[in-house]
Structure 1
Amino acid sequence: MKLGMRLRELRRAAGLTLEELAEVSGVSSRAISDMERGYSRMPQPRTLAALASALKVSDQERRRLEEDVRALRRGGTAARPGLCEPPRAVADFTGRADELAVVRRAGADGGRGGPVPVVLVHGQAGVGKTTLALRATEALRGDYPGGCLYVDLRGVDPAPPSAGDIAVRLLRALEVPSRAIAASDEERCAQVRAVLRERRCLLVLDNAADEAQLRPLLPGAGAGLVLVTCRRVLSGLEGVRRLALAPLTPEESAALLRAVADQAALPSAAGDVAEVSRLCGHLPLALRIAGTRLSTRSGWSVRHLVDRLSGEDRRLAALRTGDVSVGAAFALSHAQLSVAARRVFRRLAHLPGPDFSAPVVVLVTDDDLVDTVDVLDELVELGLLQPRGADRYQLHDLLRLFAGERLRGEEPEGERAAVRLDMARRLLEITVTAGRWFEPGFGAPPATWAGPVPLATAGEAAYWLRSEAENWLGALRMAAAAGEHRRVVETAEALHWFSDTAVAWRGWYEVYGLSRASAAELGDRQLEVTHLNYYAWAACACARRFDEGLAAALAARDMAVADGNHKEEAWALQYASDSVKLAGRPGEALELARQALRPADLADDHDGYVHLLVRIGYAQDSLGRYAEALATFRQALRELTERPVSAHQGEAARARIFVYSAHALGLLGRHAEALEQAEAALATTTARDTPALTCRLHLARGLALARLGDHRAARAELTRVVELTEEVPLYTRVYSDEATDILASLDG
């Protein structure tokens, strides 16, 4: 009689439930249940002795139990040693604590009457799927007395084994006699499921090919755990827990390098270790190869390894050691792509940005957008592309290099250059069209617009400009390198008005650096001084290079004066004023702004004239001259009614006047008036949509409400200032500090 059946009969004869026997014997009810059902193949002698004593069995019955155990140890139905034994796990496993916890939780869910938990670990080549599975197996195998079985499904082979072939291996490991193994694949898989239903086993199916290979092997109800690894997402597989592996964090990457190579553990090498991690894209396979190369070359330093990996054209070649190679791992996935997907994949190397949307991919393929999305899904499924949100994708740095190798190997240089330049031109065409939504006199695209990007509203245009900024900026670089200076200047000009809505982006410094150089190449003095002024603004306001911004602004002023260009002279003085103001010299800023009034008036630059008055009032406010500032703001409001200021600029000026007036009134103790001005500002779109202005508006309201005794409303306003500062910290930190001080005074 089998051990499990004998124990069950003895327990029932004693009139005990599982829980009662557990309480008397000190053995857990789960362990007793596993023994009775055959999940625990070889109980320890002390466990058996405790149960025999609790059941009060006779000496003869005790000897029968001991004989059953000895029979199991001699062979019995235990799994044959050596079959389906997992490979050796790495000793220097690093990180993945959260992922291992997911696997442990899934294992704990097994044996509760439902289906056997199946955890699918998926991700790109080299991300450490098998390493994680083996680490989990090592940690959990003691919880599975029915055995631990490992099979490499060879999913990236040209002809992976079928589910039936794998079933034969598993049945042999599970000690099913050869003559009892069914003839058909379907029946063999059913046998595997039946055996696993009755045993508490840990089954590791590594490197799965697809759903068809895997699905027939998965057991139904039972107490085991199935751990699957695959490069594919296997989206057609039902009822599994998917665990997507990403590259390591920078801290985990550094820890792995230190564990593999002694040189990386030196404190002096910390900076170089971080650089190696970055160059490896934090991909575990690449990091392990790099660390192994370092550890086997005693004369190398980490800096030497950085130098070896720095060149993009030889990085993949450097990430090879012995029979292991990052490029070879990628090639196995690449070989599974369709012809269409291979073409799209290699052309992704043309895209300059780190992430992109499907319409941008169309610019290098000329394929239908719907077909392109299908191909991108294929790349995602194989782990060659990572999704980023609902409509964006990202190519890992090393996969981008691999795509570049495929591109150079499969398309002639002339074709590559033509596709790249055409992509740049089309990207910039979209950028100009989107930018002109914000430029007075333009707005919506013409009725003939047939671009791949929806630009029906200003919101859609702004979303595209922000989300694809790195791609169109890369295209601008390409156009400049190709000598297409007119296109560069046109693009930068079209973005001028939009840039005011995204001042925090440091990329404007490069945009207007490129357009300044292109304008000079064109030999057009008007363009040159205009874009020199734009560059002065970007250097100061965006890049925070105040001295550089001031120097550019003064050079533009001198150029404008020489040409009699009053409008650009006024703008140059405004940008010079901004530079010294942000550098902490408000007195100089006030004087420069005042100097700009006359040329702006001479140029009939009514928009600029009103904004200059606002600047002057703001400078007076910064100097603590609040009454003077209020008088200047009132003058600016009068000018708004008397001059033909454009609607957009008029609203922007009015919003600033109201907000700045509220601030000055509050500091003068005129809190009721301050609230009135703040309410007027709230009615303007500019005050609601400009982060720094919005912060100042809520600060003015919070201060006024606090002084008027409405502390609850004041706290809400001041808390909003702090929240906004966290979102857009560049120009708003000073407002957060003020708000925090006022909040502290209220709490005090």
Structure 2
Amino acid sequence: MSLAPDDGLIFRLLGMIEVIGSKEQMPTPPRRQRTVLTALLLEANRVVGMEQLIYLVWEHSPPSTARAQIQICVSALRREFTRAGVDAQIETRQPGYLLRVAADKIDISLFERRVAAADLAVRQGRLEDAATILRAALSLWRGPALNGAGATLQSKAIRLEEKRLAALENCVEAELSLGRHHALIGELHSVVTENPLRERLRGQLMVALYRAGRQPEALEVYRAGRDLFIERLGLEPSDQLRRLERAILTDDEVLRLDHEDRAQVAAHNVVSPHQLPAATSDFIGRQEVVARVQDVLSGDHMTMHVVNISGKAGIGKSALAVHVAHRVAAETYPDGQLYCDLRGTHAQPATPAEVLGRFLSALGVMGSSLPDGVDERADMYRSMLAHRRVLVVLDDAASESQVHQLLPGSPSCGVIVTSRARLTGLAGSHLVEVDCMNSDDSRELLGRIIGRQRLESEPVAVPALIDAVGGLPLALRIIGARLAARPHWPLASLVGRLSDERHRLDELAHGDMVVRASLSLTYDGLAPEARRMMRLMSLLEAENLPSWTASALTNDDHRSFDLVERLVDAQLVDVVGTDITGLPRYRFHDLIRLYAKEQAAAHETLDTQLTSVERVVGGWLAMAEQAHRRLYGGDFTLLHGHGKRWQPPAQHLDQVLQDPMSWLESEHQNLCAAVLQAADAGLDELCWDLAITLVTLFESRSRFDDWQQTHERALEAVRRAGNKRGTAALLCSLGSLHHSQRRMDATRAALVPALDLFTELDDTHGMALARRNLGLLEYTEGRPEVAQRIFEQSLSGFEQVGDVIGRAHVVSHLAQLSLDRGENELAADQLRDALGMCREISSPRVEAQLLYRLGGAMLAQGRYEQARQLLTSVLTMVQRSGDTVGESYALHSLGLIHSRMRMVEEASDLLWRAIRLCEENVDRLGAARVQLDLAQLVAQRGEAFHAIAIVEQAIATFQELRLASWESKALAVLEKVAAQSPLSAAATSNGGF
């Protein structure tokens, strides 16, 4: 192992800024030059725009000569580089400048390269090397990063400090795994004292003390941390830390370190997805093909290995891919395996954005943190797989374009793609074509299915059966299943049936007809009722089907379950799990479903097909309605249409809806698919009603992609049908979505026509909902008087239709307006009235929202302790329900309360947590609002430069969202915190540090 030397560094930014030339060390540049130099170094070898440099030097008040002064700074830096012999050049590049320098000449770049090298060493089990490299990386730090660079760059310094702590944690993890616990204790004590809320460091100190035979001290470290977490955050330690305490108490052997366990201990924090389906237990033959694919995937990783397994339908591509994947996974791809069925044979194949979303979730990215665009998702995906050894299996690809953005960029990864087509457009891929099974392998496969004794009892019939299906694996499995289900049949009788099928052998030798003809053998053996069930089930577009959908398809609750189980016995439908009632969930193999759909088209009228789908969508709607009612106490804040409902059994509803939000979350893919299918089928009333009802889920879980897709498709359907009320309802809901994402122009463009349509229809409830949303928009855009008038109109509408929760919502908004005007007592009375309405019908989620507002009223009244207790209970409520949006608001208010109570450290921690959660929820306005309060708190601690940097981030957000009123508030905060800066009086000083 070798490390790049430190003595070749030219630019040192991890501490006081230093520039070292071959002739001498440059003197510290004046302030403006120092800011320009630091900005260029942070973007080394990339162009930094003139406007950005001007902003970094003067922020929002540049002089008219700003461009000229930046040019003077650059000229001065160039002269100093030449005089000191600095091996770097500042080039003029539109629209600014580029500092060209070798990456290994900047300490930040060297630090990041060493951290990446250490990460690779850990994954390869080289813990000694990893620890040495990380210590070398940490040695580059000489103090706080970018020390002296100015306030505008402090956000960069904060991110660098976070990277340093993460590297230190990884280094300690490696050294603990190497048995160096004695040497680490002193360092860990110091670091934990400096970072008392960092749980991983605390846990590492506990482990080090325990392994050093100091069990009581290890437990005391935990207890001190627990007291601190409860006092500052109102939270217990994490599950991981609590498990560690229990392990120390019980002297659990898992904490004892031996040589074999070290690599596993060091890597315990790595997120490693394992998504491969179960390998086929009776996989037969293919030795040469398996060896070829395995050799490609296990070869030297100079470039990424991509294997394209190609062949006709039913040839066993998926089974082969999964079989080989399991064989190479553990040794060659230990960091995980990702799997996705791309549904290339479906009418609507999986999109790259959808697949990337699933993969990023499996890699630990929260749903609310997913980027919107497919390019941004692909960038995040490739970054997360860099330096990791992960195998990606992409099953049933339609084309190269579907696959390109799903390929990792790292040469350490491997990819298997299965497709009916030869994907020759995938650069560097190895094409592997799969042919039919030979006679020996075919015989072995049949013997495993029906039993060797039965196979050997009819030696003449066996080769005839194999020849009849041409060794096609899917056809062989179907024949075997049919014979296994009918043990009284002689094999010869089935040979006769195959012989009677005209042109059967020709069909088996050419493309799709081979699968269709083979499937008909099993299909023909079903009872008429089972055949019809198979046809109807194939009509549903869903990930998998709960058992009640079969009852809805036939409108018969008594025999449907038995009929589906007959399809399972015939291996035409797979059981893929169970729901919370213990009943199975079903899924078709793609090819079998295609065949069944053809049979449905041939034997079921269009009216029958539509009616069956309508009942299932009506069933999804009935269940979603019930979930909403249980969450809100009734059909409040929600419009419904006149689509036909199909009611699942009441007992089933009670079981699956014991936790309504969990049920909505678990079924969200099927529910969204039902909206899309209803739209395609022209079921406009069911379509818009179900889409609107699902907002209960979309809003609380930040599922903005699903919200937008379902509503836009439903909107197309209702407009085609001339359905004005459905159009208005969907536009109103889309207005809420746009407002949640702070797209204000789009919000107004949706809500104004929605209100117009509701007014035309004289729909009081719809007008109340649209006005509530418009009131929120006016408030957000800084027009409180307009918002007040609209809220009052909305309140009147909700009162007329008896929507209790709608009334409570609007009253809470009116209370906020009262708070903004300083009418705190009035606001508190309004909120108590709203709480009374809410508690009459038992709506915990809305109650939490109202209690949050009441806490704000108490804060404004100076009743800090009461407000703190109330908001702490609200935080518990929203965390228990998984409402991350509500959690960010509760943390923000608790931070303000602690700030007023002069509990500065606790307030700072709470506000930072609120910002992080807002960012995860893609709530940019929320994050910026919290930043304003955090900046004032930071300024009070004497950190004016840091405070200014935080306010500047908020201002940038308000400007981008075009929220003038919030921008004005932020500028006032900026002026306030800037006045606390020790340099505020030296506005144009060119002095030193």
TM-score, normalised relative to structure 1: 0.49
TM-score, normalised relative to structure 2: 0.39
**Structure of higher RCO (CA pairs closer than 8 Å, 6+ residues apart):** 2
Structure index of larger Rg: 1
